[in-house]
């Protein structure tokens, strides 16, 4: 999770800060992965029909170099000469369109000296696999460079990989994977120290050879971990040699400090690499096969006779063994905290996940978001117009149905999870359910209570029979049901759903996404309180009540500001803006619109209290505010409506509860909390104690138990 957060903010950080954070991150994670890195037990298993390396060699040594920037390009020939003098050959991978121009005379010199080269992505901007369309668009240019440079090798930048899409390249081999490396942006290793064949329908020859790197990249031990010995490399080398595997290393010319040059922020001495090569030479002379990647590709294809029996010789990788799950949600994946939280839990556990969702017009239709394949099959539509809502919802159902069934032809899903609303969305998985795939229904909102709240009495009672019928069928159809509050569980029981078919998963905060802010200072405010709300902007959330209470707060605490982040009901937002104007609060209340969910915790740091002013209705008494958990997790005190669901979780000492029907009570509670630092501190402490019992870790573990049981 920490790694995920790092790669979200990485583009906005200076290189020195990136390096500092990555060092802190790896120091935190190194113990966690000690059983799978740098050696992954089981990865030494030989491929089927493996007959050993040519000429009776015990193991292979493949040296590769990714050239990232101009400084690396300028060092290529110097590094080549060092390797040549010690008695090794290697292959350099160049980025065709970056800050250096690849010249033909340099490529010729490499070949003339017995070395080789390949293509390293296109731009090195992290977007190569952002969608299938984007990859195929770039693949045309990559193929032109492969042809112009007369090479057959490829490695994707940042070790991102999709072995299916890579088949669209005119290559004989790919170097974009690794046996095990949990510190990479896409950390799903292939679990073998041998090259293997990738059977691929996209490829012009039916497939290509994949060669994972098997020693940690130079950047990890020497730059991030600041190792000054070769122990990590030599220990792994000895283990690979013992098991007859392939030692494939990636050394970046950009990070090498040559003798006589000044040491940079990301440099390690060339002597380390020289000593490593000399170590191989001294200890394994005559036992290793040091050749270029293209020669390994020819050997693998020839020795395993893959042209006739590829399926019998293909290594089963971690990706092949990973169980696949598909989620369907009629909302924007990026803005749905519950869906994103569950997705994060699944991929961290090792599941492969695809999500079918809505998306905005400016978002790509398909992309990988933190290892989750997100397919935005339809644009977000308005929900306040009944006719438009039903027509759009029906259209989404149809698109989801056909998309899921098309994807199911390529993927054998172990589980389909459907997020309501609406309940009948579960029937997009009709065929999967018939053929035995479990279907998990996650009920965010109870249908009848939700529409009773939104619609007029006439419309609700007119639609009631159909709503109740589809609700009943959906519950029966589902293998299991998740829901969000104990009140929802009780209502589902009354509607005939047995206890053993329901699991309560509260909308608690992800502690990694919303870390506790230890530097917060509690104080007595006499002015300038920053009050914060984020999420859906709609009438049922009672934001107009806080705005109406603000003038009285300003009389006691001048300079107080109210920040309302989010989007939603456009008519209600217009109403709020008019209310702000009428009360002369235009410099006191801000409606900045949507904010990326990943940035919310940073905003909370600068706020003094959170506000959760839900209306006191039968439906909202069933709702448990996700934002309340997030504020508490970050350590800011809260003022909130006194509602049943909230009170079942948080004690009187944990939240400053107010009567949402009483504007004076709202303002008084805000003022009282702001002026009392002891109350602020006590409230945060008490709320954290309440939260600990139902924390994100507790709910995540409970969620995984359900998933693992259904998948089995």
pLDDT single digits (tens) 569-589? 889 999 999 999 999 999 999
**From CA 135, how far away is CA 334, in angstroms rounded?**
22
Q: Shortest CA distance to 513 belongs to which of 330, 342, 680? A: 342
Structure confidence at residue 453 as a pLDDT band (50, 70, 90): confident
Other C-beta atoms closer than 10 Å to the C-beta of 317 total 21
**Percent of the chain with pLDDT strictly greater than 90:** 73
| Angle subtended by helix axes 696-711 and 337-349, to nearest 10 | 60
Select from 318, 341, 373 the last residue of a domain.
318
For residue 64 the two structure tokens come to 């590769």
Q: What is the pLDDT of residue 626?
A: 87
Mean pLDDT of 481-504: 94
**From CA 347, how far away is CA 352, in angstroms rounded?**
6
Q: What is the pLDDT of residue 309?
A: 31
Q: Residue 500: CA atoms inside 13 Å, Cβ hemisphere, count?
A: 1
Structure confidence at residue 10 as a pLDDT band (50, 70, 90): low
In a domain, 515, yes or no: no
**From CA 337, how far away is CA 516, in angstroms rounded?**
18
370 with 273, same domain: the answer is no
Select from 318, 346, 381 the last residue of a domain.
318
pLDDT (tens digit, 9 = 90+) per residue, 609-637? 999 999 999 889 888 888 999 999 999 99
224 with 272, same domain: the answer is yes
In a domain, 524, yes or no: no
Q: What is the pLDDT of residue 318?
A: 36
| Residues found in the chain | 712
DSSP secondary structure, 155-214, as one string: --GGG---TTGGGGS--SEE---BS--TTSSS------SS-EEEE-TTSTTSEEEE--B-
Mean pLDDT of 541-562: 97
Q: What is the pLDDT of residue 306?
A: 40
Select from 264, 288, 318 the last residue of a domain.
318
Give the H/E segment covering residue 368. Answer: strand 366-369
Question: How many angstroms separate the Cα of 595 from the Cα of each of 334, 552, 600, 601?
Answer: 10, 29, 7, 11
Mean pLDDT of 641-659: 95
Query: Residue 213 maps to which CATH number?
Result: 3.20.20.370
Does the pLDDT value for residue 647 go beyond 60?
yes
Mean pLDDT of 243-258: 96
Q: Which domain holds residue 289?
A: 42-318
Question: How many angstroms separate the Cα of 25 from the Cα of each of 3, 339, 370, 598?
Answer: 7, 25, 17, 18
In a domain, 665, yes or no: yes
298 with 328, same domain: the answer is no
8 Å CB contact between 185 and 7: yes
In a domain, 598, yes or no: yes
572 with 679, same domain: the answer is yes
In a domain, 513, yes or no: no
6 with 109, same domain: the answer is no
417 with 453, same domain: the answer is yes
Q: What is the pLDDT of residue 320?
A: 34
In a domain, 8, yes or no: yes
pTM (predicted TM-score): 0.53
pLDDT (tens digit, 9 = 90+) per residue, 412-439? 899 999 999 899 999 999 999 988 899 9
496 with 536, same domain: the answer is no
Query: Residue 330 maps to which CATH number?
Result: 3.40.50.2000
Strand, coil or helix: 91:
strand
Alpha carbon 371 to its chain centroid, in Å, reads 5
Q: What is the pLDDT of residue 321?
A: 44
pLDDT (tens digit, 9 = 90+) per residue, 121-130? 999 888 898 7
Question: How many angstroms separate the Cα of 614 from the Cα of each of 318, 472, 545, 595, 629?
Answer: 46, 29, 9, 21, 15
Q: What is the pLDDT of residue 313?
A: 33
Q: What is the pLDDT of residue 541?
A: 95
47 with 28, same domain: the answer is no
18 with 57, same domain: the answer is no
Structure confidence at residue 305 as a pLDDT band (50, 70, 90): very low
8 Å CB contact between 563 and 530: yes
**From CA 121, how far away is CA 134, in angstroms rounded?**
13
Domain count, the chain: 4
Structure confidence at residue 11 as a pLDDT band (50, 70, 90): low
Q: What is the pLDDT of residue 259?
A: 85
In a domain, 123, yes or no: yes
Structure confidence at residue 9 as a pLDDT band (50, 70, 90): low
Please work out, in degrees rounded to the nearest 5, the angle formed at the alpha carbon of residue 249 by the alpha carbons of 245 and 255: 170
8 Å CB contact between 339 and 327: yes
Q: Which of 10-19, 324-333, 386-395, 644-653 has the lowest mean pLDDT?
A: 10-19
306 with 285, same domain: the answer is yes
**Percent of the chain with pLDDT strictly greater than 70:** 95
pLDDT (tens digit, 9 = 90+) per residue, 202-226? 999 999 999 999 999 999 999 999 9
Structure confidence at residue 700 as a pLDDT band (50, 70, 90): very high
**From CA 64, how far away is CA 83, in angstroms rounded?**
11
pLDDT (tens digit, 9 = 90+) per residue, 165-187? 999 999 999 999 999 998 888 88
Other C-beta atoms closer than 10 Å to the C-beta of 474 total 22
Give the H/E segment covering residue 692. Answer: helix 677-693
540 with 493, same domain: the answer is no
288 with 345, same domain: the answer is no
In a domain, 520, yes or no: no
Q: 412-426 b/e with 16+ CB inside 10 Å = b?
A: ebbbbbbbbbbbbbb
């Amino acid at each position: 999770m920490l790694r995920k957060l790092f790669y979200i903010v990485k583009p906005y950080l200076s290189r020195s800060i990136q390096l500092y954070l990555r060092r802190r991150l790896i120091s935190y994670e190194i113990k966690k992965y000690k059983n799978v890195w740098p050696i992954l037990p089981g990865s030494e298993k030989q491929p089927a029909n493996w007959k050993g390396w040519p000429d009776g060699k015990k193991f292979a040594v493949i040296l590769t170099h990714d050239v990232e920037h101009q400084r690396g390009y300028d060092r290529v020939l110097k590094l080549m000469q060092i390797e040549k003098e010690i008695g090794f050959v290697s292959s350099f991978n160049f980025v065709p369109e970056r800050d250096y121009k690849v010249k033909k005379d340099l490529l010729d010199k490499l070949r003339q000296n017995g070395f080789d080269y390949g293509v390293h992505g296109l731009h090195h901007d992290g977007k190569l696999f952002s969608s299938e369309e984007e990859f195929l668009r770039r693949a045309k240019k990559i193929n032109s460079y492969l042809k112009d440079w007369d090479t057959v090798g490829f490695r994707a930048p940042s070790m991102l990989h999709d072995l299916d899409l890579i088949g669209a390249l005119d290559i004989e081999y790919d170097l974009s994977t690794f046996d095990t490396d949990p510190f990479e942006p896409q950390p799903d290793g292939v679990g073998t120290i041998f090259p293997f064949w990738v059977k691929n329908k996209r490829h012009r020859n039916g497939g290509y050879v994949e060669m994972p790197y098997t020693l940690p990249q130079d950047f990890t031990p020497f730059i991030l971990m600041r190792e000054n010995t070769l122990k990590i490399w030599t220990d792994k080398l000895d283990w690979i040699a013992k098991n007859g595997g392939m030692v494939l290393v990636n050394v970046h010319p950009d990070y090498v400090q040559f003798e006589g040059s000044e040491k940079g922020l990301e440099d390690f001495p060339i002597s380390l690499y020289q000593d490593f090569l000399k170590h191989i030479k001294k200890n394994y002379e005559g036992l290793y096969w040091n050749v270029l990647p293209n020669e390994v590709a020819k050997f693998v294809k020839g020795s395993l006779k893959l042209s006739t029996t590829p399926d019998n010789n293909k290594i089963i990788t971690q990706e092949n063994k990973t169980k696949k799950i598909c989620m369907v949600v009629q909302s924007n994946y990026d803005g749905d905290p519950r869906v994103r939280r569950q997705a994060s839990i699944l991929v961290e556990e090792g599941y492969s996940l695809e999500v079918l969702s809505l998306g905005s017009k400016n978002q790509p239709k398909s992309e990988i978001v933190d290892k989750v394949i997100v397919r935005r099959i339809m644009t977000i539509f308005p929900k306040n117009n009944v006719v438009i809502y039903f027509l759009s919802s029906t259209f989404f159902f149809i698109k989801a149905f056909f998309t899921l069934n098309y994807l199911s032809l390529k993927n054998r899903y172990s589980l389909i999870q459907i997020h309501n609303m609406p309940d009948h969305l579960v029937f997009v998985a009709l065929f999967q359910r018939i053929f035995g795939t479990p279907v998990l229904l996650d009920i965010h909102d109870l249908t009848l209570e939700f529409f009773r709240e939104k619609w007029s009495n006439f419309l609700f009672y007119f639609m009631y029979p159909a709503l109740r019928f589809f609700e009943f069928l959906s519950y029966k159809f589902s293998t299991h049901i998740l829901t969000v509050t104990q009140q929802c569980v009780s209502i589902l029981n009354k509607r005939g759903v047995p206890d053993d078919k329901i699991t309560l998963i509260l909308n608690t905060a992800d502690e990694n996404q919303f870390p506790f802010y230890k530097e917060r200072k509690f104080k007595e405010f006499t002015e300038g309180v920053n009050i914060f709300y984020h999420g859906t902007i709609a009438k049922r959330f009672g934001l107009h009540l806080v705005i109406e209470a603000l003038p009285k707060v300003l009389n006691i605490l001048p300079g107080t500001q109210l920040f309302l982040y989010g989007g939603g009901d456009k008519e209600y937002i217009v109403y709020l803006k008019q209310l702000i104007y009428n009360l002369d609060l235009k410099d006191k209340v801000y409606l900045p619109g949507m904010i990326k969910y990943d940035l919310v915790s940073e905003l909370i740091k600068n706020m003094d209290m959170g506000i959760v002013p839900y209306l006191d209705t039968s439906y909202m008494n069933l709702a448990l505010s996700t934002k309340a958990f997030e504020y508490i997790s970050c350590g800011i005190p809260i003022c909130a409506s006194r509602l049943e669901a909230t009170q079942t979780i948080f004690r009187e000492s944990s939240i400053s509860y107010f009567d949402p029907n009483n504007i004076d009570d709202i303002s008084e509670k805000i003022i009282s909390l702001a002026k009392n630092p002891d109350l602020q501190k006590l409230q945060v402490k008490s709320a954290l104690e309440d939260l600990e019992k139902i924390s994100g870790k507790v709910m995540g573990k409970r969620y995984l138990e359900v998933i693992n049981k259904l998948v089995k």
